[in-house]
Amino acid sequence: MGESWHNNHHAYPGSAKLGLLPGQIDLGWWLIKAFEATGLASDIKTPDNLGPRPGSRRVDGLREADAVAGA
């Protein structure tokens, strides 16, 4: 009930996208993408363009780069 988004926020505090894994619906991200489409938002930060954080680790066994790339 929100734990995933909260953990994602701590993994990538500068990211506008918090629903990082399949099944994590992120209504805020959809709104930000709508703002971008209308020219109201730009230079949006996501884990893809923030890069891995030093000291962070995944608990599901995937490598950080694979998870961000969607592998």
Q: Is the pLDDT assigned to residue 66 strictly greater than 60? A: no
pLDDT computed for residue 71 by the predictor: 46
Give pLDDT tens digits for 16-50.
Answer: 888 887 888 889 999 999 999 999 999 999 888 88
Q: Give pLDDT, residue 64.
A: 53
Cα separation, 23 vs 6, in Å, equals 15
Average pLDDT over residues 63-67: 53
Burial class (CB in 10 A: 0-12, 13-18, 19+), 6: exposed
% residues pLDDT > 70 (the chain) = 73
Asked if residue 27 lies in contact with residue 18, where contact means CB atoms within 8 angstroms, the answer is no
Token pair listed for 51: 């890069």
Would you kindly state where each structural domain of the chain is located, as residue ranges?
A: 3-69
> Per the structure block, which two tokens stand in for 32?
């930000």
At residue 41, the pLDDT reads: 95
